[in-house]
């Protein structure tokens, strides 16, 4: 069998000791999501310190991870919440975020959902279309007339500039600004913000810095412009590669905004870039076999516990506590018969035995958040490592969840 011996240049080091991994699995079961608060807090601090502009509000995009315990860490660090849906808002409020620290930037709400968002008291809403803006204004007027809402919301538009955002369904063209301004004015409201969304998972720093001037110039077409919501879409370097340079981005963005004739509010919405690296999905090897020189390893988790590579990036790095020097081309396969149930393909791993532990790294974003009951596997538990202690932050599901809400 062909082997590679330079494991130090190939394999990532496990995030904690084998003794701790075994303790966690013995306590909470396998597979298991493990979040490390020191890594998460360190990433939050680095991103926060990268932008020196004083009127900056960071808002965590909870679409990437909605666990209450993690949201509370962001809240304690002074961040707000970026919500794509009313469900995001609901979780944010339950986690302790004040409605004024929540920014809604979503699409295609129906009337009752828009009413709920406004009743919750969400301060800032970035609307995706003229029809959503019209609906928001109509709902606001009705709630105000019935004295069900007092403070007017701060309204912005999600920007769609094909030369910047490509072929995107999201947002409003600048040619639609006059109509949008008129719609808001009729309801006694102002359009005071612009939200620029670059697109999901962008690691290129230049993709953001090179468009700052254009975005600012477009925002200045709004006569009541007060805030700029710049990003999400910030990527994460799965399996190495170029990482987003927060310090360069922060310096460029601060420099451009400081040139304005008056200060504005800046909102920045990191999602996966803030939370991806703090989590590991632990799994046990349950079977091994060889197909010529390739090792086929079966584990007790499934691709249904992670976002599919075609949606949110390639395979995650996989680590092992096995110390053999000889490495083999390995496919790590899930515990279903789905033909694409691979946790990793063509990995370099030592010869593994049944019962050994593997760690699938960088699963903090779009891990549990995109997990499903595909092929009817209940979802794993989640635990948080904090100050040398671990605690359960989401219970493991059992088969009863497959019957929940069914009527028979």
pLDDT at 1: 46
Q: How many domains does the chain have?
A: 2
User: Does the pLDDT value for residue 142 go beyond 60?
Assistant: yes
User: Does the pLDDT value for residue 312 go beyond 80?
Assistant: no
Clarify whether residues 245 and 285 are in a common domain: no
In a domain, 58, yes or no: no
User: Does the pLDDT value for residue 10 go beyond 90?
Assistant: no
pLDDT at 406: 97
Clarify whether residues 326 and 394 are in a common domain: yes
Mean pLDDT of 81-99: 98
User: Does the pLDDT value for residue 299 go beyond 60?
Assistant: yes
Q: Which of 224, 240, 270 is the last residue of a domain?
A: 270
pLDDT at 167: 79
In a domain, 133, yes or no: yes
pLDDT at 140: 96
In a domain, 55, yes or no: no
pLDDT at 315: 85
* Two structure tokens written together for 206: 């230049």
Q: Which of 214, 247, 270 is the last residue of a domain?
A: 270
Pick from 268, 257, 273, 264: which is nearest to 230 by CA? 268
Mean pLDDT of 167-179: 91
Question: Most distant CA pair in the chain: distance in Å?
Answer: 77
What pLDDT digit, counting tens, does each position of 14-42 carry?
999 999 999 999 999 999 999 999 999 99
Clarify whether residues 249 and 139 are in a common domain: yes
Question: At a CB cut-off of 8 Å and minimum separation 6, what does 395 contact?
Answer: 381
CATH number of 27's domain = 2.40.37.10
Helix (H, G, I), strand (E, B) or coil at 156: strand
Clarify whether residues 247 and 336 are in a common domain: no
Q: Name the residue with tokens 């720093």.
A: 205
Cβ–Cβ < 8 Å for 268, 51: yes
Pick from 121, 152, 147: which is nearest to 137 by CA? 152
Q: Which of 226, 249, 270 is the last residue of a domain?
A: 270
Degrees, nearest 5: CA angle 310-159-59? 70
Strand 318-320 and strand 357-361: the pairing is antiparallel
Clarify whether residues 213 and 241 are in a common domain: yes
pLDDT, averaged across the chain: 93
Clarify whether residues 129 and 230 are in a common domain: yes
In a domain, 392, yes or no: yes
Clarify whether residues 364 and 247 are in a common domain: no
* Two structure tokens written together for 89: 């808002």
What pLDDT digit, counting tens, does each position of 213-243 carry?
999 999 999 999 999 999 888 989 988 778 9
Clarify whether residues 190 and 235 are in a common domain: yes
In a domain, 313, yes or no: yes
Domain encompassing residue 304: 7-35+277-401
Q: How confident is the model at residue 202 (pLDDT cuts 50, 70, 90)?
A: confident
| Cα–Cα distance measured from residue 352 to residue 357, given in angstroms and rounded to the nearest whole number | 9
pLDDT at 7: 59
Clarify whether residues 329 and 263 are in a common domain: no
Mean pLDDT of 344-369: 96
Which of 62-76, 102-116, 192-206, 297-311 has the least mean pLDDT?
A: 297-311
What pLDDT digit, counting tens, does each position of 252-293 carry?
999 999 999 999 999 999 999 999 999 999 999 999 999 999
* Two structure tokens written together for 300: 């007790």
Clarify whether residues 305 and 179 are in a common domain: no
Mean pLDDT of 385-391: 94
Q: Quick one: DSSP state of residue 369?
A: G
Helix (H, G, I), strand (E, B) or coil at 228: strand
* Two structure tokens written together for 277: 């690296």
In a domain, 122, yes or no: yes
In Å, how far are 91, 122, 179, 278, 395 from 96, measured between CA atoms? Answer: 9, 13, 37, 22, 21
User: Does the pLDDT value for residue 334 go beyond 70?
Assistant: yes
Percentage of the chain beyond pLDDT 90 is: 83
Which of 187-191, 201-205, 286-290 has the least mean pLDDT?
A: 201-205
In a domain, 70, yes or no: no
Mean pLDDT of 188-202: 90
Mean pLDDT of 138-155: 91
In a domain, 111, yes or no: yes
User: Does the pLDDT value for residue 186 go beyond 50?
Assistant: yes
Cβ–Cβ < 8 Å for 342, 331: yes
Clarify whether residues 219 and 345 are in a common domain: no
CATH number of 105's domain = 3.20.20.10
pTM of the full structure: 0.95
Clarify whether residues 248 and 291 are in a common domain: no
């Amino acid at each position: 069998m062909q082997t590679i011996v330079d494991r130090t240049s190939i394999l990532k080091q496990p995030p904690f000791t084998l003794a701790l991994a075994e303790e966690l699995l013995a306590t909470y079961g396998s597979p298991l999501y493990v979040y490390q608060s020191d890594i998460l807090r360190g990433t939050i601090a680095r991103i926060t310190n990268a932008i020196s502009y004083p009127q900056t509000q960071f808002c965590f995009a909870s679409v990437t991870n909605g666990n209450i315990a993690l949201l509370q860490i962001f809240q304690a660090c002074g961040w707000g919440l970026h919500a794509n849906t009313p469900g995001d808002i609901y979780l944010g409020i339950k986690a302790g975020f004040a409605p004024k620290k929540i920014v809604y930037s979503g699409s295609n709400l129906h009337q009752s959902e828009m009413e709920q968002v406004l009743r919750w008291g969400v301060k800032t809403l970035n609307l995706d279309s003229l029809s959503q803006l019209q609906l928001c204004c109509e709902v606001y007027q009705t709630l105000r007339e019935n004295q069900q809402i007092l403070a007017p919301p701060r309204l912005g538009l999600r920007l769609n500039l094909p030369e910047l955002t490509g072929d995107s369904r999201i947002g409003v063209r600048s040619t639609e600004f006059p109509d949008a301004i008129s719609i808001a004015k009729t309801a006694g409201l102002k359009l005071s913000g612009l939200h620029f969304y670059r697109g999901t998972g962008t690691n290129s720093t230049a993709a953001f810095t090179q468009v700052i001037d254009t975005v600012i110039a477009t925002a200045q077409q709004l006569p009541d412009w007060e805030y700029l919501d710049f990003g999400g879409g910030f990527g994460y370097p799965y399996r190495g590669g170029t990482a987003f340079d927060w310090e360069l981005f922060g310096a460029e963005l601060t420099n451009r905004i400081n040139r304005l004739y008056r200060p504005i509010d800046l909102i920045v919405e990191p999602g996966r870039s803030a939370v991806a690296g703090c989590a590991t999905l632990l799994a046990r090897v349950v079977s091994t076999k060889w197909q010529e020189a390739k090792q086929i390893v079966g584990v007790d988790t499934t691709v249904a516990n992670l976002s599919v590579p075609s949606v949110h990036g390639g395979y995650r790095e996989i680590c092992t506590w096995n110390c053999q020097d000889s490495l083999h081309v390995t496919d790590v396969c899930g515990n279903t018969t789905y033909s694409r149930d691979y946790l990793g393909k063509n990995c370099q791993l030592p010869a593994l035995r049944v019962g050994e532990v593997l760690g699938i790294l960088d699963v903090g974003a779009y891990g549990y958040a995109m997990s499903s009951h595909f092929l009817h596997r209940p979802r794993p538990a989640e635990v948080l490592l904090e100050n040398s202690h671990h605690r359960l932050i989401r219970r493991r599901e059992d088969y009863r969840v497959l019957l929940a809400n069914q009527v028979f």
